Chain A
């Protein structure tokens, strides 16, 4: 599952909020995405080229407990 929100950045002025929510650059390139594995309920950070659909990198997302 992709396309879930990234953390909202701090906005300068209200107008940029709408642009951030509704206008995203979709040009094909390697993008970072959040992927959810339903069977284990774990989130992963995935680098995928959105043009060729090739997975370039996968990393388990960690909580505070494991970041050490």
Chain B
């Protein structure tokens, strides 16, 4: 039975303060400093979790979350690591992954079906029998996963801070602390990070209560601080290693993103379990796990225990625990048991040593360990015990080092992987480096710090690296496979030795293949206590060395990181136009258009009638639309024109001063990427617009061409700094006339002209454009004038019943004119010839972007963008991207479609094979429900084919009043 010990030197708990919490419906009391695991053990609660696949009862293994046996959840958080988490007062915890609670988990019945659930079984359900897969899928989804997500949990914004330092020391154990001490007082910024709540690592719990070890830790805790330049971050773990020495440190309050000039990996080792039948029973623990429980939390997790020894450390641990008052009856030594003085002291405590023996199975009673069976030289005796401590070996905590580009090699002497080479600026120290005894650990830390100082260009003495250990610390094969199974290699995924053999037999015989087929190392602990044994088994199956068997690629994160922490403050930029507040005040229906917020419409009625109202206003009266999202670029300089000629496909020689023309841009494959308008203000000054979605790209391309060609021109991005409003409709000139003294007559301000003037005091540029097919003016102005100008236009147009219109109405208006939208009516493969824009490509220009491709594409046009109409009722169900079907094959697709009030039928644009583009040709469009709608190819524009509406007519009086 597990219980609390009397106070231990250097313990982490504060017995003066209690915290009450509940687990699985029962109340427990913890001391301050306890973790959930230790508080439960103090009350003799040994089984705390259920495993992923077979729902077997699980207890403490490492007591440090190097395994994922003990994950718990509350109503608001899930996948909480019980070994690490301090229980919060009044909170109810329960185990994850149970069906009906921990005690009566219905999922444990799966153990009965284990023979039909071998490794890889769920891949096979994907294939045969196909009819059963839907049932399998539902079952698999139900059983997969661990914690449950509460979608109503309150949203929390986590801090995610940036931090820069000279040296990051990962690991606050003997070597890490020694390294930090060497770096102190040098005017450097040093961060020491440790995943535990306190510094010390193994120095603390393996110190055998050694006062010098404890004083080293106390000295570090006291002296490190602002003055020495050393910042200590405990309860933070380094989650991964990224480019430029970027390491996110995950802590209870969020993530600190550190970028360091040098990094020292002093991350230590993970103790490894032995493999035998039922090695996952509560009560079977890693020796270091027990030491953590004893020295950190003063917990004795058993009444009487046996130690399984695969190395000499086992004897030291035994003596340490006996000194703390625990009862160890036997050491089962996998070797010959000759450990000199240590052996004598152990015997002196009355502990039996059984040499050349190993544990082959364990037996439970009441859900916890009751006895173990050995295989010795003479037989297979059973020993009664409620605790088994495994001290069989170590694997390096090298995940971060691997991610940083370190290479490792297997050192046969120590029996462990050790670092061979690291990229510059990165160093290892301590047991990770194959160094074991206390003096050597310290010296290795100091040497690593010296190397770091030299790397930073500082003077430092040549500290010699101590030699690596010459003793074997890891047993070469602590695996006793059992014919009846339950001999677990990976506790997270319930992978047994037989599973690995099956995977190997089925051909998955390399480390990476075996990992994915058997899922070994794929659980929340990412193989910290599984990968080493799996590698040993694979080596034996392949009859090669452990080195040759290989490791799988190490990837972030070291421990599970909550998604909310990665999201941090949830930065999600939203760009607002200068008139945004005006739209909000009118209760516009705002939509996200890329990063912009734009009004879809201004009416709250059903969408179609809202659009039709706004549409009608523009066709018969006057309306305004906020088009500030357009790209706007100013070009100024002697080479402004050559830049334009190079960047765009058309010729600019005929563009007169004070005039604009339609332009478009292709990339070097000849694909349409952007369109807009170019205005010649003077011979060395041009003003260019671009589509909203390509605006930033247009700017950077023009700037690139300017430097590539060495041109004398300034390219100024005005997209966000200049707002734009399109005033459109037959009455637009009258509205404008009341705000400006500019001569708006057709002679003075022709179609496609650009003029500079003031509107009600605001300095503006006016461009006469025709996107929506009515008389219209695009007004450009400095952003801060926007709201005042918007209000002035609405006031000036009030007599004409002016209304604002949104994006949806604008799209309908332009569709009736057959105007294409780049990105909607074109895609990543459309070239100008297919889109009917061949007239805008001037191949006689000697050089422009995409010229060579366009020359080839001109002769290869196989499809065309055409208009279509549909008078059938099914036409209302046609949507964008519906396919055109001809002769049973796909012959094209619909790119834009809408009901046209003017035509009283559905109209649209489609990209179809050239052979089908004769006007009047009937085609079929496949609808979402599989039915076919009959459409007819039509000429565009659908509305005002002679383009009369864009012109100023006599009856639209233009007076120069005001």
Contacts and interface: CB of A to CB of B under 8 A. Distances in A.
Q: Classify A-B as touching or not with yes or no (CB < 8 A).
A: yes
Contacts of A61: 704, 707-708
Query: Interface centre among B667, B704, B713, by most A CB within 10 Å?
Result: B704
B711 A63 contact: yes
Contact of A14 (B639, B704, B849, B856): B856
A22 B813 CA distance: 38
A18 B710 contact: no
A39 interface: no
Contact of B710 (A34, A42, A67): A67
A6 B701 CA distance: 11
Given A63-B711, A65-B712, A41 B704 contact: no
B755 to A, nearest CB: 29
A17 B711 contact: no
Contacts of A8: 668, 847, 849, 851-852
Given A4-B701, A8-B851, A65-B712, A43 B707 contact: yes
B498 to A, nearest CB: 41
Interface size class on chain B is 20 to 34
Nearest to A5: B668
Contact of B707 (A20, A22, A63): A63
B706 A63 contact: yes
Nearest to B243: A53
Nearest to A61: B707
A14 B670 CA distance: 14
Contact of B708 (A7, A14, A17, A36): A7
Contacts of A22: 669
Interface string B658-671: 00000000011100
Contact of B704 (A4, A18, A62, A67): A4
A21 B700 contact: no
> Looking at chain A, what size class is its interface with the partner chain?
20 to 34
A64 interface: yes
Nearest to B859: A14
A36 B704 contact: yes
B704 A17 contact: no
B704 A34 contact: yes
B717 interface: yes
Contacts of A7: 708-709
A8 to B, nearest CB: 6
Interface string A1-20: 10011111001001001101
A20 B850 CA distance: 12
Given A34-B704, A41-B699, A64 B852 contact: no
B555 interface: no
A22 B707 CA distance: 24
A35 B639 CA distance: 23
Contacts of A5: 667-668, 849
Interface string B239-254: 0000100000000000
Q: In this complex, which of A1, A18, A43 has the most chain B Cβ atoms within 10 angstroms of its Cβ?
A: A43
Contacts of A62: 707, 710
Q: Which of B699, B709, B853 has the most CB of A within 10 A?
A: B853
A45 to B, nearest CB: 9
B304 interface: no
A17 B699 contact: no
Interface in A34-61: 34, 36, 41-43, 53, 61
A6 B667 CA distance: 11
A14 B855 contact: yes
Contacts of B713: 63
A43 B703 contact: yes
A63 B668 contact: no
A47 to B, nearest CB: 16
Given A5-B849, A41-B699, 6 more contacts: A1-B700, A5-B668, A21-B853, A41-B703, A43-B703, A63-B710
Interface of B: 243, 639, 667-669, 699-701, 703-704, 706-713, 717, 847, 849, 851-853, 855-856
